[in-house]
């Protein structure tokens, strides 16, 4: 119970930190919208930032999906000193790679803009290339900050890892407010330049005391070479959302003026929704799953997948319902004013509507990607992500011709949701069973309650006149959101949705596998009430009447058979802070039980 309370407290603190970061980030977007609206000049800045973000996205996906599980494994099996050496080597080599990419982009910015945004006029293409060259100068600092944040997450210092969004927002807000009228969008590019440096500097104090950095560059390091082998496939799987957004922007560049900006504004709202709920959960669960993989705890991984699926659906589905009904008011409340007029709001709201209906699929897809990466399997997610991008390109061609810029958002939603379903199917094949039938009742209740939420929000909105200014749009959103969330809470309590009932201290009626007991109600390992409890696999033993072989490793790669009883590893005494199985534990945790051994009959 204490461990669950700590997990809940950590999740809430991380969520509050991300909410604050996203709020400041949206203040940044509102300031940019006030000064530039959907003007063609701002299209150039959006396109330049997208090109600058390509190497950031690729290296970020490489780092976050591989460094956390590999550092966790190295620390558990090799010790802290060896883990720090591996991490230092990885940070230094990745910074050198970023410097090489910087030189290439400085030389090739012009041709790259003409290829990707071939629909731009010459003056706009030239301005875009100029902005790219400014932003990319401090790319190495950006990549270093991502590496440091990943190590903080691996060390379960989640809050410190989430503060890097504040320097970016404050730097761009100050640049726009002080220099936008004089230098235009060039001021925003220099704001990005400064933010990249600040993002690294703010993380350095949090690394002191536990991380021993070394100035080492060893390309022959076995662990780093394994990181690169895992990183290649992981890049595509983790970057699929941003890649799809870039594909949408590329297609929109052939459309009406301002379509690229409308896509950008709509997508920013989606990143806010996913960042507030999904990012905290997947960040924490990724570290926990990486530790469970190191311990070969298959049942724990399955429990996290089921618990996270229900939690994401319970929180996101009513928000999706309210935002879909009030899409016009959401955009007006956030952006309306200055150069962002009612016409810009109408175009952006259409884009936002077709993006927001796919948020649940996007969130669950990210969770499943993290699950495969925790098992050090990046090839599966790479193949699925490649299919998602190809499907998005094909659907973009169809829906853009039929629906204009809104069709691009719809294509992204369809392809992303389809990829999520494929990942669920592949994970079930990988782990042989997921136990998802346990959460079907809760999922049905969530969708029913969310439908009532949408009806309540629509009813309140229909009683109020349309918003013509930002303040009235905010009032409409508060009224619709308040009514919708009130109805959802009442319906959820009446239907007894399990996560909500557990949160308020009461028991729901669906067993989604979150307890340490199995679904027969038998506790895992140890002793209870003076008698020996059933093992973790008791349900299988009772059904078959025989034990099974020791389970294979959860992570990808060759199977690793257990060492013989007479091997040196078996005879080596456990070090301080470890149990008999060699696993680390904190002082005072009590005996550490292993669940690898099956009972003798």
Q: Is 578 helix (H, G, I), strand (E, B) or coil?
A: strand
Model confidence over 526-565: pLDDT tens digits?
A: 433 443 343 444 333 323 334 344 444 444 444 444 444 4
Tell me which residue of 299, 308, 240 sits closest to 522, measured CA to CA: 299
Q: How far is CA 236 from the centre of its chain?
A: 14
Q: What pLDDT, on the 0 to 100 scale, is given for residue 238? A: 67
More confident residue, 533 or 417: 417
Q: Which residues contact 108 (CB under 8 A, 6 or more apart)?
A: none
363 has pLDDT over 60:
yes
Does the predicted model carry a pTM greater than 0.75? no
Quote the tokens at residue 424: 């669920």
Give whole-number Cα distances, 164 to 21, 110, 143, 168, 198, in Å: 8, 30, 12, 7, 8
Confidence category of residue 494, pLDDT binned at 50, 70, 90: very high
User: How far is the C-alpha of 522 from the C-alpha of 304, rounded, in Å?
Assistant: 19
Span 343-366, mean pLDDT?
Answer: 89
Beta-bridge partners for 584: 578
Q: What pLDDT, on the 0 to 100 scale, is given for residue 9? A: 65
State the Cα angle at 343 between 338 and 348, rounded to 5°.
95
Handedness of CA 39, 24, 346, 125 (dihedral sign): positive
Location of structure tokens 């390109």: 393
Span 441-470, mean pLDDT?
Answer: 91
Quote the tokens at residue 104: 């290439």
Please state which of the ranges 19-28, 165-174, 226-235 shows the lowest mean pLDDT. 226-235
Span 28-55, mean pLDDT?
Answer: 85
Q: Where do the H-state alpha helices sit in 37-79? A: 40-78
Tell me which residue of 247, 264, 321, 286 sits closest to 150, measured CA to CA: 286
Share of the chain above pLDDT 70, in %: 81
489 in the Ramachandran plot: left (φ > 0), alpha (ψ -120 to 50) or beta? alpha
If 0-12 CB within 10 Å is exposed, 13-18 middle and 19+ buried, where does residue 157 land? middle
482 has pLDDT over 90:
yes
Model confidence over 206-246: pLDDT tens digits?
A: 998 889 998 999 988 888 888 888 777 777 666 677 777 77
Quote the tokens at residue 577: 């802070």
Residue-averaged pLDDT of the chain:
78
Give whole-number Cα distances, 585 to 81, 151, 158, 320, 588, in Å: 17, 20, 20, 41, 9
Span 71-82, mean pLDDT?
Answer: 84
Q: Which residues contact 425 (CB under 8 A, 6 or more apart)?
A: none
User: How far is the C-alpha of 552 from the C-alpha of 547, rounded, in Å?
Assistant: 15
Please state which of the ranges 4-18, 57-71, 186-200, 202-216 shows the lowest mean pLDDT. 4-18
Q: Is 468 helix (H, G, I), strand (E, B) or coil?
A: coil
CB-CB contact of 305 with 367 (8 Å): yes
89 has pLDDT over 70:
yes
Q: What pLDDT, on the 0 to 100 scale, is given for residue 102? A: 94
* Radius of gyration from C-alpha coordinates of the chain: 25
Please state which of the ranges 268-272, 451-455, 472-476 shows the lowest mean pLDDT. 268-272
106 has pLDDT over 90:
yes
| 295-334: burial string, b at 16+ Cβ within 10 Å, e else | bbbbbbbbbbbbbbbbbbbbbbbbbbbbbbbbbbbbbbbb
Model confidence over 245-257: pLDDT tens digits?
A: 778 877 777 777 7
More confident residue, 506 or 28: 28
Q: Which residues contact 386 (CB under 8 A, 6 or more apart)?
A: 236
508 has pLDDT over 60:
no
Q: Which helix (H) or strand (E) holds 353?
A: helix 342-356
Q: Where do the H-state alpha helices sit in 463-567? A: 470-495, 498-503, 538-544
User: How far is the C-alpha of 136 from the C-alpha of 153, rounded, in Å?
Assistant: 26
More confident residue, 45 or 597: 45
Span 102-117, mean pLDDT?
Answer: 90
User: How far is the C-alpha of 27 from the C-alpha of 46, rounded, in Å?
Assistant: 17
Q: Is 441 helix (H, G, I), strand (E, B) or coil?
A: helix
Secondary-structure breakdown of the chain: helix, strand, coil percentages, each rounded to the nearest 5: 75, 0, 25
Span 22-28, mean pLDDT?
Answer: 82
Q: What pLDDT, on the 0 to 100 scale, is given for residue 252? A: 79
Max mean pLDDT among 259-263, 316-320, 436-440 falls in: 316-320
Domain limits of the chain?
Answer: 1-208, 254-495
């Amino acid at each position: 119970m204490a461990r669950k309370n700590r997990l809940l407290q950590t999740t809430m603190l991380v969520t509050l930190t991300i909410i604050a970061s996203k709020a400041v980030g949206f203040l940044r977007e509102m300031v940019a919208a006030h000064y530039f609206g959907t003007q063609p000049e701002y299209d150039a800045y959006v396109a330049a930032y997208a090109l600058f973000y390509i190497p950031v996205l690729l290296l970020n996906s490489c780092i976050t999906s591989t460094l956390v599980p590999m550092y966790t494994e190295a620390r558990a099996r090799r010790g802290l000193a060896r883990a720090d050496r591996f991490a230092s080597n990885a940070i230094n080599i990745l910074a050198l790679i970023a410097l090489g990419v910087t030189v290439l982009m400085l030389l090739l910015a012009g041709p790259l803009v003409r290829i990707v945004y071939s629909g731009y006029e010459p003056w706009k293409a030239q301005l875009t290339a100029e902005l790219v060259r400014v932003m990319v100068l401090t790319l190495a600092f950006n990549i270093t900050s991502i590496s440091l944040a990943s190590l903080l997450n691996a060390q379960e210092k989640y809050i410190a890892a989430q503060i890097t969004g504040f320097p970016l927002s404050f730097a761009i807000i100050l640049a726009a407010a002080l220099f936008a009228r004089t230098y235009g969008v060039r001021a925003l590019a220099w704001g990005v330049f400064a933010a990249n440096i600040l993002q690294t500097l703010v993380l350095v104090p949090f690394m002191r005391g536990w991380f021993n950095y070394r100035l080492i560059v060893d390309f022959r390091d076995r662990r780093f070479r394994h990181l690169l082998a895992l990183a290649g496939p992981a890049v595509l799987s983790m970057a699929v959302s941003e890649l799809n957004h870039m594909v949408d922007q590329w297609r929109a560049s052939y459309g009406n003026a301002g379509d690229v900006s409308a896509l950008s504004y709509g997508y920013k709202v989606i990143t806010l929704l996913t960042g507030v709920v999904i990012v905290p959960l997947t960040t924490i669960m990724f570290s926990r799953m990486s530790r469970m993989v190191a311990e070969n705890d298959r049942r724990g991984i399955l429990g996290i997948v089921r618990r996270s699926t229900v939690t994401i659906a319970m929180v996101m589905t009513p928000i999706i319902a309210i935002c879909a009904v009030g899409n016009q008011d959401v955009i007006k409340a956030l952006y309306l004013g200055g150069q962002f007029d009612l016409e810009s709001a109408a175009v952006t709201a259409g884009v936002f509507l077709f993006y927001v209906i796919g948020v649940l699929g996007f969130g669950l897809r990210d969770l499943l990607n993290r699950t495969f990466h925790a098992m050090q399997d990046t090839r599966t997610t790479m193949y699925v992500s490649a299919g998602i991008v190809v499907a998005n390109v094909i659907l973009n061609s169809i829906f853009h011709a039929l629906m204009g810029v809104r069709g691009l958002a719809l294509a992204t939603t369809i392809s992303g949701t389809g990829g999520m379903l494929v990942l669920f199917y592949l994970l079930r094949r990988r782990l042989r069973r997921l136990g998802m039938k346990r959460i079907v009742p809760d999922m049905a209740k969530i969708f029913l309650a969310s439908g009532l939420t949408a009806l309540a929000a629509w009813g309140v909105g229909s009683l109020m006149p349309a918003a013509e200014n930002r303040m009235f749009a905010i009032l409409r959103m508060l009224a619709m959101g308040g009514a919708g969330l009130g109805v959802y809470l009442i319906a959820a309590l009446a239907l007894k949705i399990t996560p909500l009932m557990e949160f308020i201290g009461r028991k729901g009626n669906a067993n989604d596998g979150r307890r340490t007991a199995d679904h027969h109600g038998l506790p895992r390992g140890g002793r209870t009430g003076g008698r020996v409890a059933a093992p973790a696999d008791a349900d299988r033993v009772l059904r078959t009447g025989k034990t099974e072989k020791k389970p294979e490793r959860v992570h990808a790669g060759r199977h690793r058979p257990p060492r013989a009883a007479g091997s040196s590893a078996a005879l080596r005494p456990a070090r301080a802070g470890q149990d008999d199985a060699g696993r680390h534990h904190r002082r005072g945790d009590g005996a550490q039980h292993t669940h690898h051994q099956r009972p003798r009959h």
